Amino acid sequence: MAGNDPLVSALSGIDNAESVGHLDHTVAPASNVIGSILEVFYDRGYIGGFEFVDDGRSGKFEVELSGAINDCGAVKPRYSVGADEYEQWEKRFLPARDYGSLIVTTSHGVMSHYEAREKGIGGQVIAYVY
83-117 pLDDT tens trace: 999 999 999 999 998 899 999 999 999 999 999 99
- Report the pLDDT value the prediction gives residue 57, as an integer from 0 to 100: 93
The pTM score is 0.93
Query: Which class is 72-129 in CATH?
Result: alpha beta
Q: Binning pLDDT at 50, 70 and 90, where does residue 76 land?
A: very high
Taking a C-beta distance cutoff of 8 angstroms, is the pair 129, 44 a contact?
Answer: yes
- Report the pLDDT value the prediction gives residue 50, as an integer from 0 to 100: 98
CATH fold, domain 6-65, is: Ribosomal Protein S8; Chain: A, domain 1 (3.30.1370)
Interatomic CA distance for residues 86 and 117, integer angstroms: 8
> Could you read off the pLDDT of 53-64 as tens digits, one per residue?
999 999 999 999
Taking a C-beta distance cutoff of 8 angstroms, is the pair 66, 17 a contact?
Answer: no
> Could you read off the pLDDT of 25-35 as tens digits, one per residue?
999 999 999 99
Taking a C-beta distance cutoff of 8 angstroms, is the pair 83, 120 a contact?
Answer: yes
Assign 3-class secondary structure to 53-102: ECCCCCCEEEEEECCCCCCEEEEEEEEEECCCCHHHHHHHHCCECCECEE
Domains in the chain: boundaries: 6-65, 72-129
Q: Do domains 6-65 and 72-129 have the same CATH topology?
A: no
